[in-house]
C-alpha cells in the first residue's frame, strides 16, 4: 500500500499517495478523483516512483479560493513539481487529468521528461460531439464510460457509503466549475499545443463515448514528437478497463526514451 500524506502548496492542503522506486511518475486523475489505490497504480509503482495527488477541489484536498479554471491547476502543479524537487519527471494524465497534463506541458517545466495523455479533454472538434457527462444519470454514466458490460455492472452494483457520496458530490462540483462552460475544453489550448517539447504518447479507447476516438488524431497532429496508440475494445477509462495494456504502453514508451 502507498504512503499517504498531506502537504500544502500555494495555500492549499492536498492529499497525496506515493509508492515505488525509479524515476518519478506523476499521475493526474480524472473527474472522478483518486481516493483509492487502484491496481494500475500498484503496477506502475513496480517500475516508477509513483505520485498520485488529489487535485485541489477534489477528494481529501482543500478547495482553495483561487481555483477558477484549468490554468490555475496547471500553475499549482508547476509549483508543486518544483517544491517536491522532482527531476526527469514522467507526467501521465487521464481525461480531465490529461487535459491538465497538456496545460502543464504547454507552460513547460525543466523537470518534465515525457508526457502521456490518456483520452484527454481540452480541445474541440467541430462535428464531433463529446458525451455530455453533466447530463447523464448514474446508469447512463456507467454504460457510457466502459466498453465491457461487466465493468458497467460493477459500477452499478458497487455499494456507496455516505462518505463516498459526499466525496462524489465534491468532485462533481469542482469538475463542473472547471469544465461546464465551454464543455470539457479550453478554447485557447489547441493553438499552444505545439509548445509541448517532450516525447508524448497519446492513448485512446476505440469505444470511447465520452471523448470520441477522432480526438486522438487531432491531438497527435497538434503535438510535436507525439504518437497515438488505440486500445481495442476499450471505453473512456483504459487505466481501469484495460489495465495491463495501459500500463504496458506507458512502461514501454518510457523505456524506449533511453534507447
The CATH number covering residue 117 comes to: 3.40.50.1820
Q: How far is CA 145 from the centre of its chain?
A: 15
Does residue 212 sit in helix, strand or coil?
Answer: coil
The angle formed by the CA atoms of residues 163, 118 and 197, to the nearest 5 degrees, is 125
What's the confidence (pLDDT) of residue 72?
A: 98
Residues of the chain with pLDDT under 70: 259
What's the confidence (pLDDT) of residue 258?
A: 76
Instruction: Name the helix (H) or strand (E) containing 176.
Output: helix 162-179
pTM for the predicted model, two decimal places: 0.97
Buried b or exposed e, range 150-165, using 16+ CB within 10 angstroms: ebbeebeeeeeeeeee
What's the confidence (pLDDT) of residue 259?
A: 53
User: Whole-angstrom Cα distance, residue 143 to residue 252?
Assistant: 31
Each residue of 212-243: pLDDT tens digit?
A: 999 999 999 999 999 999 999 999 999 999 99
Number of structural domains, the chain?
Answer: 1
Structural domain span for residue 60: 3-257
User: Whole-angstrom Cα distance, residue 258 to residue 225?
Assistant: 15
Amino acid at each position: 500500500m502507498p504512503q499517504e500524506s498531506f502537504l500544502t502548496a500555494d495555500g492549499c492542503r492536498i492529499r497525496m499517495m506515493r509508492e515505488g522506486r525509479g524515476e518519478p511518475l506523476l499521475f493526474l486523475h480524472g473527474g472522478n478523483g483518486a481516493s483509492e489505490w487502484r491496481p494500475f497504480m500498484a503496477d506502475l509503482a513496480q517500475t516508477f516512483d509513483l505520485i498520485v495527488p488529489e487535485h485541489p477541489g477534489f477528494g481529501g484536498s482543500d478547495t482553495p479560493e483561487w481555483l477558477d479554471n484549468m490554468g490555475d491547476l496547471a500553475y499549482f502543479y508547476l509549483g508543486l513539481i518544483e517544491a517536491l524537487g522532482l527531476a526527469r519527471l514522467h507526467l501521465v494524465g487521464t481525461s480531465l487529468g490529461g487535459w491538465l497534463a497538456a496545460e502543464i506541458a504547454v507552460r513547460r517545466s525543466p523537470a518534465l521528461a515525457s508526457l502521456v495523455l490518456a483520452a484527454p479533454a481540452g480541445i474541440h472538434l467541430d462535428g464531433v460531439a463529446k458525451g455530455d457527462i453533466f447530463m447523464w444519470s448514474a446508469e447512463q454514466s456507467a454504460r457510457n464510460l466502459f466498453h465491457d458490460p461487466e465493468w458497467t455492472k460493477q459500477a452499478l452494483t458497487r455499494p456507496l457509503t455516505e462518505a463516498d457520496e459526499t466525496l462524489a458530490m465534491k468532485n462533481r462540483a469542482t469538475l463542473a466549475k472547471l469544465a461546464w462552460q465551454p464543455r470539457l475544453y479550453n478554447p485557447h489550448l489547441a493553438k499552444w499545443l505545439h509548445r509541448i517539447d517532450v516525447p508524448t504518447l497519446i492513448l485512446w479507447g476505440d469505444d470511447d463515448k465520452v471523448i470520441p476516438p477522432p480526438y486522438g488524431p487531432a491531438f497527435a497532429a497538434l503535438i510535436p514528437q507525439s504518437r497515438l496508440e488505440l486500445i481495442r475494445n476499450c471505453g473512456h477509462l483504459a487505466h481501469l478497463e484495460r489495465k495491463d495494456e495501459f500500463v504496458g504502453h506507458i512502461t514501454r514508451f518510457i523505456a524506449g526514451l533511453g534507447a
